[in-house]
Structure 1
Amino acid sequence: MICFVSRLFTGSALSPVHNDTREKYSAKLVFGSMEPAELTTEQVLRRDIPWETYMTTKLISGTGLQLLRRYDKKSESYRAQLLDDDGLSYVRVFVSILRDIFKEETVEYVLALIDEMLTANPKRARLFHDNSLADEDTYEPFLSNWFIQEKSCKILALIVSARPKSQDGPVSNGEASNSKRKSTTIDDVLKGLVEWLCAQLKNPSHPGRGIPVAVNCLAALLKEPLVRSSFVQADGVKLLTPLISPASTQQSIQLLYETCLCVWLLSFYEPAIEYLATTRTLPRLIEVVKSSTKEKVVRVVVLTLRNLLPKGTFAAHMIDLGLPQIVQSLKAQAWSDEDLLEALNQLEEGLKDNIKRLSSFDKYKQEVLLGHLDWSPMHKDPLFWRDNINNFEENDFQILRVLITILDTSSDSRALAVACFDLSQFIQHHPAGRIIVTDLKAKERVMKLMNHENAEVTKNSLLCIQRLFLGAKYASFLQV
């Protein structure tokens, strides 16, 4: 059943259509006319659908007809009351119509009803997961080749997001164990959605609504681990970056907010963070937070920056881009959101800590590169090594290579002792320290200093060798 998904979301269901006419035909499929920009939900809901005819042809039941007569064309408050009283019955009717009726105008109409129902109260999406629908495939009606992509994508995103966590297994919708009919799997639904959403971000089928609809759905779906994984694999992260730019109109502000919300959700996923580090996402986020006055936009960007701060080299880049000063400026403004104020304080403290660490490492780096090694406090400070150990990886372990060169070339006993000590500290604190130092051919150089005339050099060279051999002995012990 789910074999439809990939070809329908990617548009290959239109393959019999000549390439020159495919785009026009696709527009008609999505929006119901050759001029999609003119068709709105309000226009669709003004249609009169011949429900009685469908009952005569047995496409809907008598009970279904009664429910539709009570619901259709009624006021919003009256429909809300009907849904509160018997929402499950209406979900059954809507799903059965989408499954059994193929007339485009009717499909558009029912999708508009469902969209209206869920937009008014997204919690109603839980109705699609009621236990009484265990034998119903409530995803599949939105995945057939006649569905209206925009509405179906939005509705699917809401329904999937509202599903109980117990449905995280291979089969969605709580399929009964004795069911003979294969149900649409949640993995296939999500992967199909991601493919379609990425396609919209790359080449929207509607110039005005394609990208906003895709971003809106992603903002609802990226809390799902599978969606994050599929989105990263589809190279979707870089598609969001161009959308992060200062906005002025209400529509563009909403798109910016939802785009930043997507990035915030991705900032909880390590593979996505690696992708973000290779794009211009960070400078764009900082430019937005610097110029935006919309509180919800500032909040989601600040929360994202707070998440990224301890990752990789983001902190150094943030400092280079002037974020500490921007945070101070933001704190001086009158924000009402307590979460935003707390996040600003945390971001400020985190930046201050990183400035201190970077400053101390810069001092250390300068000391090493000049060859003027001395027992300054940072050498024997465990916090310095713990907080800066990854900085030693810069420029293909440049600092380590210089330390090893000092062992070969320096005649200063103090510099030799400190260099040996620093190598021992690196071995102790870096997960692969022993292997890296060994690969850099440091062991032979350190061993030569074990017979040095200076006791301080002898002591620290011995310490370094002990840590090298201790690591090797421990490794061989684990292999036994």
Structure 2
Amino acid sequence: MTVELQLSQFRLEGDTINDIVSNARTRAIGWDSCVRADYLTVEEADCLKKVAGFTDVREKTNYILKNADFYSTKIISLLAKAPHDDIVRFVLVSLIDTMVAPKSTFSRNILSIAHLDASLPYQPLIKLLGSNDESIKLSSSYVLTLLLIDDSESHDGQEKVLRPLFDFLSVRLLSSTKLDLNFFSIQLLKELLTIKQYRTFFWENHETLFPPLLKVFTERRGELQMKYYATMSIWLLTFIPQALEDIETQYPELVGTLYVVAKDAVKEKIVRLAISSLLNLLSLKKDRDQLVKQFLLVKGLEITKQLIERKWADEELKTDLETLLEILNEAVTTLTTFDEYANELRTKKLNWSPSHKSEEFWIENVDRFKENNWKLLKELLQLLDASTDPEQTYLNQAIVCYDVSQLIKVAPEVVKVLDRIGAKAKIMSLMSSANTNVKFEALRTTQQLVARSL
């Protein structure tokens, strides 16, 4: 694989890596004072002085490359020693400059020192991810990614490196409120996920690693290029068979998210990735019919028709849209109001859809709520708990109270079930809610609960 990560790509509001590199290049370091402070040996100071003596980056990298074996060992040795933040920053930036230089093979020199010690070159860099200095952490994650995606590196057995790196990029950087850190993170994640073994490992830990990636879309963060990288990352993950099953059961909102991306994108390459991802999801064999209904419930058929009417240069995109339309047209006749209701439960986002206020719906489907020891009822009641979205929490609570009142009408025995599982008290407590709609629905349901209990 050709390493495509270049410093010029890392640009957003803060020029994250560019600023780090530029500042570290120009900052003067007193090498003799570092020796006196016992940060460096005389030999280490001398070799860094030679590198620092070049004002032209190209001349500096050429010098390091001519002495590649020596400097690869010396650089990792200094990073393992981590004598002082200023020195570490200088070493990391010199390493980055050399690794990304045109036609550079310095990554291979760095990787080759593993024969000296199995923990090298990764362990010192992983340790630096825990630095108190943000520039050191970012530079270390960048170097780690460059090494991991190098063609000469074995992509198997890298779990001990991938876990801390993925945690840093996804859990910490991608979850940050700073857009420049989000943008930096998503670029590195996209590069790592191009490696089959790495994306498989990523998905094995999806419960902590995937939600921050999904939030890039749901919170509408970043600029167009960031959306492109995020969509590509999703697309790459849809080639994992286990991911398809997990998405269907644990991340049903992804279908609607991808449709929103496809509908709103102004760049054809983003639409292509979103639609291709949706088709990959439909390659799921288990519960595929249920997944197709999910497509219909987020108005996938209407959006697909709208997209087909647009003019596309990409023939593959046209074919994908036609395939998707054919699948959805075949399935639309099987969609029921209960499917719509069940979908709301799956996504944990209730809305006042017609099924809630239809008497026929409750009469026809009450037995479904009784199945498996009132399993569906218990799923409904879970939505009384607060979520990260206050407005959706209030909406969920109001609708749950209303739905419970409807169930009481058609199945009075539900009152005993509610009392037994502690939901009765929870509903009654909502009469003091700060939201007027929740308070009203809770009061009305409580009146029924009390009347049926007498």
For Structure 1 versus Structure 2, the TM-score category normalised by the shorter chain is 0.5 to 0.7
CA deviations 1:332-369 (Å, max 9, x no partner) are: 65655xxx53144134224314533x268679xxxxxx
Q: AA paired with 1:221? A: L
Separation of aligned partners in 2, 1:62 and 1:78: 21
Distance change in 2, residues 1:295/1:45 (3 Å): farther
Match of 2:294 in 1: 317
SS in 1 for 2:208: coil
State whether structure 2 residue 147 is matched by structure 1 residue 159: yes
Cα drift, residue 47 of structure 1: 0.4
Structure 1's 73 and 244: CA in aligned 2 closer, same or farther, altered over 3 A?
farther
1:341 aligns with 315
Read off the aligned partner of 1:105 and give its amino acid letter: D
Aligned partners of 2:78, 2:95: CA distance in 1, in Å? Answer: 12
Mapping for residues 350-365 of structure 1, pairs under 5 Å: 350-356=324-330, 358=331
Q: Residue 225 of structure 1: CA displacement?
A: 4.6
With over 3 angstroms needed to count, the CA separation of the structure-2 counterparts of 1:271 and 1:128, relative to structure 1, is farther
Q: C-alpha distance in 1, partners of 2:325/2:332?
A: 12
Q: 1:167 to 1:355 in 2, by over 3 A?
A: closer
Larger Rg: 1
**Which of 241, 255, 277 is the aligned partner of 1:304?**
277
Choose the corresponding residue for 1:46, options 4, 19, 26.
26
Match of 2:188 among 202, 206, 217: 217
- CA drift at 1:231: 2.8
CA contact (8 A) 1:194 1:230 kept: no
Pairwise CA distance, 1:287: 0.9
Q: Is the 8 A contact 1:219 1:262 kept in 2?
A: yes
Aligned letter for 1:348? E
- For 1:285 and 1:319, the matched residues in 2 are separated by 13
**Residues 1:229 and 1:90: Cα distance change in structure 2 (over 3 Å):** same
Query: CA separation of 1:61/1:301 partners in 2, compared to 1, >3 Å: closer, same or farther?
Result: farther
Matched, 1:188 2:168: no
Equivalent residue, structure 2, for 1:143: 126
Q: Which residue of 2 aligns with 1:260?
A: 231
Where do 5+ consecutive residues of structure 1 fail to align? 1-35, 170-185, 364-394, 399-480
Give the superposition deviation at 1:138: 0.5
Separation in 2 of the partners of 1:141 and 1:39?
Answer: 23
Equivalent position of 1:237 in the other structure: 210
Q: Percent identity?
A: 19
CA distance in 1 between partners of 2:148 and 2:321 (Å)? 33
Compute the displacement of 1:139 (Å). 0.6
Q: By how many angstroms is 1:268 displaced?
A: 1.5
Distance 1:46 1:65, change over 3 A: same
Query: Residue 284 of structure 1 aligns to which amino acid in structure 2?
Result: T
Instruction: Give the deviation of 1:130 after TM superposition.
Output: 4.5
CA contact (8 A) 1:302 1:344 kept: no
How many positions carry a matched residue from both structures?
307
Report if the CA contact (8 A) 1:44-1:112 is conserved: yes
Q: How do 1:5-404 residues align onto structure 2 when only pairs under 5 Å count?
A: 40-51=20-31, 59=40, 62=43, 65-66=46-47, 69-70=50-51, 73-79=54-60, 81-82=62-63, 85=66, 87-118=68-99, 124=105, 126-128=107-109, 130-131=111-112, 133-136=114-117, 137-144=120-127, 145-146=130-131, 148-162=136-150, 164=152, 166=154, 168-169=156-157, 186-200=158-172, 204=176, 207-222=178-193, 223=195, 224-232=198-206, 234-244=207-217, 252-277=223-248, 278-279=250-251, 280-311=253-284, 312=288, 313-323=290-300, 326-327=303-304, 329-330=306-307, 340-356=314-330, 358=331
- Kept in 1, the 8 Å contact 2:25–2:90? The answer is yes
* Aligned-partner SS, 2:116: coil
Residue type matched to 1:315 in 2? V
Matched-pair contact (CA < 8 Å) for 1:161–1:220:
yes
Counterpart of 2:30 in structure 1: which amino acid? P
C-alpha spacing 1:113/1:126, structure 2 compared with 1 (3 Å) = closer
Q: Is the 8 A contact 1:123 1:162 kept in 2?
A: no
Q: Structure 1 residues 77, 105: closer, same or farther in 2, change over 3 A?
A: closer
The CA deviation at 1:270 is: 2.9
1:49 alignment partner, SS class: coil
C-alpha change, 1:114 and 1:166, in structure 2 (3 Å) is closer
- Which deviations, in whole Å up to 9, do the C-alpha atoms of 1:308-354 show, x marking residues without a partner? 13223443333444445545554565655xxx531441342243145
